[in-house]
């Protein structure tokens, strides 16, 4: 490498790696940072971090036990959006109500797992890996899916994590790495416009490899992949336009980025975002209402956007939280860590079995004051893997699970 090119490369390389990050640490694994997917379908995962109060999301307003156990937090019928006799959405979920009416939303009730853990960290690790803490956990369920689906190296990553949060364990893999980006505008490998820097990168990528040098392999493959991904995603930012009026919120910004990337022709299969703030131990009503509004309006805008693109049938959205909240309110106008809660999957009416799936957990049949689950979250994952992505799920989920009837095909 020429001295001038080398100096330019070293000057910019450290700055660039701060913008583009990959999960994991093994150099050889980064050689699979991008891959081609055999499926053209897309999954958008929204993690509701902190433990969403499912009981005040899908509300059993007609149940006298609900009013009795939540004298302050129980929502009134006139403030709700009716789903069916006795059940309704929180009044902030107008977007979800519209999607349900249009046949584009599945509400999966009573989701959880056996012997639930009420620690945020442990419960989320269980959801992310499908394994308990006594088992060796080195990768996530989506990471294992990427490994199984890996074909040939491509220019687009299999998945993208959007946001400033730590990359979710669900995306971790031994061989496929997922970029984390804060926004398209910030996703730019600093120095990529410098002619000497670009030449240095090309010379590095073209340099003869020898002796099985893992470190050299790592630098060559990860750096050239970062440049390619930076160009691809930065280009998407300028090309994608829409007539959809998006709401103003952090989640909406992230999902609008997803919509722009889909519109740009990116072949990425999974987009992962997080909505924080659901750990509502005190002063829950206003906080929860604002979070649900942000979720509902943002998902509705995303589906409107991909519909305008003519790509509705390719996109499904899955929303989950690590656990629900206790049935009985606490003394601080809030709720404490619980167990079961609802999941949501949204998409085209031609692809989704819209409506309520499973019964609402009974409030007169609790376990230690918590709702009993009747659907294991891995059944929903199995539906995503087998029915949406058309891939066997047992190896990915570390067991065989009957898919929840969410998808039509």
Domain chopping of the chain, boundaries: 41-189+241-397
| Alpha helix positions (H), 102-249 | 120-129, 141-149, 195-206, 214-239
Output DSSP code: residue 370.
Answer: B
Q: In this structure, what are the phi and psi dihedrals at residue 87, rounded to the nearest 5 degrees?
A: -125, 145
Both tokens assigned to 164:
């400033």
Encode 367-381: b = buried (16+ Cβ within 10 Å), e = exposed. Answer: eeebbebbbbbbbbb
User: Which superfamily, per CATH, for 41-189+241-397?
Assistant: Alkaline Phosphatase, subunit A (3.40.720.10)
- Which of 97, 102, 95, 73 has the alpha carbon at shortest distance from 87? 97
Give residue-wise pLDDT tens across range 16-36: 443 444 444 333 333 333 333
Instruction: Give me the chain's average pLDDT, please.
Output: 85
**pLDDT score recorded for residue 105:** 98
CB atoms within 10 A of CB 38: 11
Q: In this structure, how many other beta carbons lie within 10 angstroms of the beta carbon of residue 23?
A: 22
Unique residue bearing structure tokens 């971090």:
49
Q: Considering only residues 120 and 13, tell me which one the structure prediction assigns the higher pLDDT.
A: 120
- CB-based contact 154:176 (threshold 8 Å): no
Residue 381 has pLDDT above 90, yes or no: yes
What is the spatial order of strands in the sheet that 81-84 belongs to?
Answer: 58-59, 87-89, 81-84
Instruction: Give 361's pLDDT tier (boundaries 50, 70, 90).
Output: very high
Dig out the tokens for 377 from the structure: 């979250």
226 band by pLDDT with thresholds 50, 70 and 90: low
Q: What is the band of 254 on the pLDDT scale with cuts at 50, 70, 90?
A: very high
Q: What is the mean pLDDT of residues 143-154?
A: 74
Stretch 85-94: mean pLDDT, rounded?
Answer: 97
Cα–Cα distance measured from residue 393 to residue 144, given in angstroms and rounded to the nearest whole number: 10
Confidence of residue 151 (pLDDT cuts 50, 70, 90): very low
Q: Does an H or E element contain 87, and which? A: strand 87-89
Q: Give the residue among 379, 163, 177 at the shortest CA–CA distance from 273.
A: 163
Decide if pLDDT at 401 tops 50: yes
Bridge partners (DSSP) of residue 105 are: 346
Angle made by CA atoms 344, 135, 361, in degrees to the nearest 5? 30
Q: How far is it, in rounded angstroms, from Cα 207 to Cα 6?
A: 13
Instruction: Judge whether 323 and 339 are in contact, CB under 8 Å.
Output: yes
In whole angstroms, give the CA distance from residue 340 to residue 319.
Answer: 14
Q: What's the mean pLDDT in 229-253?
A: 78
For the CA atoms of 35, 38, 43, 45, the dihedral, rounded to the nearest 10 degrees, stands at -40
> Rounded to an integer, what distance in angstroms lies between the CA atom of residue 176 and that of residue 180?
13
CA 374 to chain centre: 23
Q: CB atoms < 10 A from the CB of 36, how many?
A: 15
Q: Is the pLDDT of residue 321 over 90?
A: yes
Model confidence at 106: pLDDT above 50: yes
Residue of 336, 339, 344 lying closest to 284 (CA atoms)? 336
Q: How confident is the model at residue 145 (pLDDT cuts 50, 70, 90)?
A: very high
Eight-state DSSP code of residue 387: I
First CA to last CA distance, the chain: 53
């Amino acid at each position: 490498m020429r001295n001038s090119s080398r100096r330019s490369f070293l000057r910019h390389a450290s700055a660039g790696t701060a913008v583009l990050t990959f999960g994991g640490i093994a150099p050889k694994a980064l050689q699979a940072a991008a891959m081609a997917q055999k499926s053209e379908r897309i999954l958008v995962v929204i993690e509701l971090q902190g433990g969403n109060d499912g009981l005040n999301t899908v509300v059993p307003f007609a149940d006298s036990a609900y009013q009795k156990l939540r004298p302050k937090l129980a929502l009134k019928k006139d403030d709700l959006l009716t789903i069916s006799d006795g059940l309704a959405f929180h009044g902030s979920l107008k977007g979800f109500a519209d999607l349900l009416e249009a046949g584009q939303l599945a509400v999966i009730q009573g989701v959880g797992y056996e012997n639930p853990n009420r620690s945020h960290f442990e419960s989320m690790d269980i959801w992310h890996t499908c394994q308990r803490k006594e088992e060796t956990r080195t990768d996530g369920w989506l990471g294992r899916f990427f490994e199984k689906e890996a074909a040939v190296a491509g220019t687009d990553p299999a998945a993208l994590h959007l946001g400033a949060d730590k990359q979710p364990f669900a995306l971790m893999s031994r061989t496929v790495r997922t970029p984390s980006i804060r926004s398209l505008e910030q996703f730019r490998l600093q120095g990529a416009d410098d002619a000497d820097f670009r030449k240095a990168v090309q010379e590095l990528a073209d340099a003869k490899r020898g002796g099985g040098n893992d470190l050299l392999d790592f630098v060559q493959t990860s750096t050239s992949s970062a440049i390619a991904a930076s160009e691809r995603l930065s280009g998407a930012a300028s090309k994608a336009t829409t007539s959809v009026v998006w709401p103003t919120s952090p989640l909406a910004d992230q999902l609008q980025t997803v919509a722009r990337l889909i519109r740009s022709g990116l072949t990425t299969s999974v987009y992962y975002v997080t909505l924080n703030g659901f750990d509502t131990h005190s002063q829950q009503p206003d906080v929860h209402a604002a979070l649900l509004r942000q979720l509902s309006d943002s998902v509705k805008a995303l589906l409107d956007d991909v519909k305008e693109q003519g790509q509705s049938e390719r996109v499904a959205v899955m929303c989950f939280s690590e656990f629900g909240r206790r049935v009985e309110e606490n003394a601080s106008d809030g709720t404490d860590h619980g167990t079961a809660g609802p999941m949501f999957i949204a998409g085209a009416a031609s692809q989704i079995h819209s409506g309520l799936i499973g019964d609402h957990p009974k409030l007169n049949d609790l376990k230690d004051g918590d709702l009993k689950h009747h659907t294991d979250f891995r059944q929903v994952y199995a539906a995503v893997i087998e029915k949406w992505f058309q891939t066997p799920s047992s190896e990915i989920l570390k067991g065989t699970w009957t898919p929840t009837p969410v998808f039509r095909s």
